[in-house]
Amino acid sequence: MERSKEEFLRRFGEDYGYPNAPKNIDEIRASEFKRLQGLVYLDHAGAALYSEAQMEAVVKDLTSNVYGNPHSLNDSSMATSDIISAARQQVLNYFNASPKNYVCIFTSGATAALKLVGEGFPWSRESWYMYTMENHNSVLGIREYALDRGATALAVDIEDVKLHGRQEGTNESSVRILKHSVQRRAEAKFPQDGMIGKLSDNAYNLFAFPSECNFSGQKFCLDLVKVIKDDAQKIFEGSQGGQWMVLVDAAKGSATDPPDLARYPADFVVFSFYKIFGYPTGLGALVVRTEAARILTKTYFSGGTVSASIADIDFIKRREHIEQVLEDGTLSFLAIASIRHGFNVIDALTTSAISRHTTSLAAYVRNMMMDLKHENGVNVCTIYGRDIAKVLSLDLGATITFNLRRADGSWYGYHEVEKLACLSGIQLRTGCFCNPGACAKYLGLSHSDLLSNYEAGHVCWDDKDVLHGKPTGAVRISFGYMSTFEDAEKFLSFLEISFVAKHKSSNGKCQLSTEAVPLSGIGWQQLAGNVQLKSIMVYPVKSCAGFSMYSWPLSNMGLKYDREWLLKGPSDEILTQKKVPEMCNIRTFVDLEQGKLFLESPRCKEKLQVSLAKNSFWEMEEMNAYGQRYEVMTYDDEVNMWFTEAIARPCTFVRCSSSKKRSCMNKVGREGQCRDSESKLTFVNEAQILLISEDSVHDLNSRLNSTDMQKDYSGSGQPVLVDAMRFRPNLIISGAKPYVEDSWRSLQIGEAHFTSLGGCNRCQMINLDQQSGQVRKLKEPLATLASYRRVQGKILFGVLLRYEDCIMEDGEEKNGKERWLQVGQEVYPSID
């Protein structure tokens, strides 16, 4: 890394690291962001991070001063009013906006500021709302107000902006605009093509664009403000009238390049403070030109917005000051009091230095990503944005959005990338980032593609990342003022280790590869010795501790009573150890002779006993879980209160009575059958039974104990070893070669027959320490499994089984005697 950093500094040393600030970047990270040790945070476009000094100043301020409600005249209220006034001025200063021309309106965020403009704008049937395709959903949402009031909406692409002769004092300008389809509601008259801009002189029109695209990092030329305001008639093909106003969404761009409103006099600018310096959240502002503010109208009035009102007659008198009219209720004054401490951090560095610092990191990473290739020469990274080849261009911000290809040209899904990044301690963002226009534009998704994806079940924030051979979203990394070269290097190393196809190492050590690893890896003739059933585990309550038995009966749902109960939260969400780690401390045992389920918890004084008998007077209801419809039995308040105390949160205890058709979403998102579609299931995720090989666990531990693997994944020299119980198996076998179970088609244990349904896709559940209930910080063993057990985005370990003695035939269950499994029974696999 030292040589790489030397080369980086030779190229970017004047821009990187704040050489002229009170603290350089290494000192900032060491003193202000100790919590980032071992973590690479690359989602600054989503939220900036606050510094320790900033928060210490906030706490000192709030604990040393008394700030009262500003809608009063006492001393504490007046102190608050002074703080708010000073904060407004600080905001205007940040955007170089004169208080003679601009006003700062505090809102709950950039989205609320945009909503305020949309609601108050004087739309008419002659109005137009134009916006660039590369815009956040919150900007697109203004369209609803415009269309509802009869205005016309139109999305455009800005191809080029040029100002000719500005320095000579002329007003010539040109802009290339690519227009998309005109939008009007059914009740409004649809204009003829070429009639754009034939407007009434009294119409107000709004043009909206971001200072920086939150999808691609593309910076928009702010000269567009003057071009739209001065030359709308020329740009929009013969406009005869109407006044064009310009809205700039600075939510992304304000952290590094806040618009200079003295130079680019936009009418409306919106942003959120947490995007700039992390804290406070839930606070933003609308910086509005005074003349533009006067055209905004409000219907609703609230406390603080009126000078007088009478309760029983239609009489109100609104206040005169713009801020007082547009800010409803009591402002978040403690949050407003905190922003000066954030600005102090930014001012010490300067926004120009922050911009150069973050841009240098992004330029370096873009260059390295563009050079990344598989061994066969196929490019690994597809980076989105205009003029990507010009990586040093000022038009590109500190954001890089991309997708990754395999050596065969197929796409890695962004969900797989995010999952592996988390395991490597890298925090990044995936999806479309609430920017559907930019997402469709750069990914080449047509209207039919988008509609087809939606019909296939794809919605925002889901994990359906590749449909019909195309990505549905992308991966985004973004740098902030405290990002370091080391962050960049760790990210690049992660890409190379996890996604670049290489030849396997001949030295016997584990070599990461993106090639589909043959999971069996061993011929069946090598199956040596007797394979035996070593352990039987039953988990009566989903995600709670299980118990081991020497022998146990089977039923038509797998192991009898296995995951027949679960806990639901107040909103009917299914509770698991992922959300409630304390569930692993609830110990369970089923006594077949007594016919009872016994439960105990360190948080409960008394043990709980639940009868196994399915009494007819219990209340029945239906619920959906894991793509299946269940009929469940509920329990009384006494039982529910016991579990509520055990996990320290409200919950409901339910039991599976019967399950109906097993349906789920298949790979393309349409309703299909899960792998176990023939059997009745309890509250399992995919199949009745999970089998784990003790020999495969031993092989995993040898890899976990590898120095190279520890260096690559854990960040520690201490080995992270696991036992088979970490994977919550039902059956543990021993005596087989590692991973030979992957290719078994079926198997017999005693008199019981099972069909293999394939590998079990593992998640971060296996990183949970079952004894302490705490997630291991080393990201193991999932990170190591990802290095050699990853196939098409899934990390496989263990195999899923279906018990075949009680399946459905012609709508009826096969009758057969109750069969038992017993430790020590031999396992007879079949590979046919």
pLDDT, tens digit, 9 for 90 and up, residues 620-644: 888 877 767 788 899 999 999 999 9
CATH of the domain at 754: 2.40.33
Task: State which of 344, 361, 383 marks the end of a domain.
Answer: 344
Residues 758 and 652 in one domain: no
The first and second tokens of residue 696, run together, are 């495969």
Task: State which of 286, 313, 344 marks the end of a domain.
Answer: 344
E strand residue ranges, 67-203: 102-107, 128-132, 152-164, 172-183
Query: What is the C-alpha separation between 612 and 650, in angstroms, rounded?
Result: 24
The first and second tokens of residue 659, run together, are 């399950």
In a domain, 754, yes or no: yes
Residues 769 and 804 in one domain: yes
Residues 108 and 204 in one domain: yes
In a domain, 760, yes or no: yes
The first and second tokens of residue 91, run together, are 């905001």
Residue 233 DSSP symbol: H
Instruction: Sheet with 172-183: list strands edge to edge.
Output: 102-107, 284-289, 268-272, 243-249, 204-210, 128-132, 152-164, 172-183
Q: Percentage of the chain with pLDDT > 70? A: 84
Residues lower than pLDDT 70 in the chain: 1, 160-174, 187-201, 233-234, 237-241, 387-395, 503-529, 616-618, 627, 659-678, 707-719, 769-778, 806-816, 832
In a domain, 482, yes or no: no
Using a 10 angstrom Cβ sphere, with 0-12 exposed, 13-18 middle and 19 or more buried, the burial of residue 120 is middle
Strand 306-310 and strand 284-289: pairing?
unpaired
Q: Would you give the end-to-end CA distance of the chain in angstroms? A: 51
Angle at 386 between CA 380 and CA 387, to 5 degrees: 80
In DSSP terms, which residues pair with 289 in a beta bridge?
A: 102
Neighbours of 338 (CB within 10 A): 25
In a domain, 248, yes or no: yes
Domain that holds residue 339: 75-344
Find tokens 């007003």 and name the residue.
Answer: 171
Residues 751 and 643 in one domain: no
- Distance of CA 735 to CAs 276, 530, 721, 732, 825, Å? 58, 6, 20, 11, 12
What confidence score (pLDDT) does residue 460 get?
82
Residues with Cβ within 8 Å of 322's Cβ and at least 6 positions away in sequence, in order, are: 103, 105, 288, 290, 293, 294
What confidence score (pLDDT) does residue 414 get?
93
Query: What is the C-alpha separation between 479 and 12, in angstroms, rounded?
Result: 15
Residue closest to 449 by CA, chosen among 470, 479, 420: 470
Contact between 52 and 31 (Cβ < 8 Å) = yes
In DSSP terms, which residues pair with 794 in a beta bridge?
A: 791
pLDDT, tens digit, 9 for 90 and up, residues 13-45: 999 999 999 999 999 999 999 999 989 999 999
Residues 281 and 319 in one domain: yes
Backbone torsions φ then ψ of 665, nearest 5 degrees: -90, 130
Backbone torsions φ then ψ of 759, nearest 5 degrees: -70, 155
659-695 in b/e form (b: 16+ CB < 10 A) is: beebeebeeebeeeebebeebbbbbbbbbbbbbbbbb
Strand 820-822 and strand 551-555: pairing?
antiparallel
Inter-helix orientation angle 485-499/2-12, to 10°:
120
CATH of the domain at 149: 3.40.640.10
In a domain, 255, yes or no: yes
- Distance of CA 595 to CAs 589, 598, 614, 617, Å? 11, 10, 11, 18
Query: What is the C-alpha separation between 88 and 324, in angstroms, rounded?
Result: 13
Using a 10 angstrom Cβ sphere, with 0-12 exposed, 13-18 middle and 19 or more buried, the burial of residue 40 is buried
Find tokens 């995919």 and name the residue.
Answer: 686
Residues with Cβ within 8 Å of 592's Cβ and at least 6 positions away in sequence, in order, are: 553
Residue 581 DSSP symbol: G
Longest distance between any two alpha carbons in the chain, whole Å: 98
pTM of the model: 0.84
In a domain, 40, yes or no: no
Query: What is the C-alpha separation between 680 and 174, in angstroms, rounded?
Result: 68
Find tokens 């193991």 and name the residue.
Answer: 780
Query: What is the C-alpha separation between 537 and 587, in angstroms, rounded?
Result: 13
Please identify every residue annotated as catalytic: 434
Using a 10 angstrom Cβ sphere, with 0-12 exposed, 13-18 middle and 19 or more buried, the burial of residue 613 is exposed
Task: State which of 344, 366, 400 marks the end of a domain.
Answer: 344
Find tokens 């290719």 and name the residue.
Answer: 743
Query: What is the C-alpha separation between 423 and 701, in angstroms, rounded?
Result: 17
Query: What is the C-alpha separation between 472 and 332, in angstroms, rounded?
Result: 38
The first and second tokens of residue 714, run together, are 């854990």
Residues 613 and 705 in one domain: no
- Distance of CA 80 to CAs 59, 325, 333, Å? 16, 19, 7
Residues 636 and 727 in one domain: no
Residues 590 and 726 in one domain: no
Residue closest to 432 by CA, chosen among 226, 134, 6, 74: 134
Residues 666 and 767 in one domain: no
Residues with Cβ within 8 Å of 36's Cβ and at least 6 positions away in sequence, in order, are: 29, 49, 482
Helix or strand (DSSP H, E) at 403: strand 399-404
In a domain, 229, yes or no: yes
Residues 277 and 153 in one domain: yes
SS3 of 803, please? Answer: strand
Residues 303 and 326 in one domain: yes
The first and second tokens of residue 650, run together, are 């409200």
In a domain, 786, yes or no: yes
Residues 528 and 550 in one domain: no
SS3 of 676, please? Answer: coil
Query: What is the C-alpha separation between 802 and 808, in angstroms, rounded?
Result: 12
**How many structural domains are present in the chain?**
3
Find tokens 């009573």 and name the residue.
Answer: 561
Query: What is the C-alpha separation between 70 and 172, in angstroms, rounded?
Result: 48
E strand residue ranges, 34-168: 40-41, 102-107, 128-132, 152-164
Contact between 777 and 38 (Cβ < 8 Å) = yes
Distance of CA 44 to the CA centre of its chain: 13
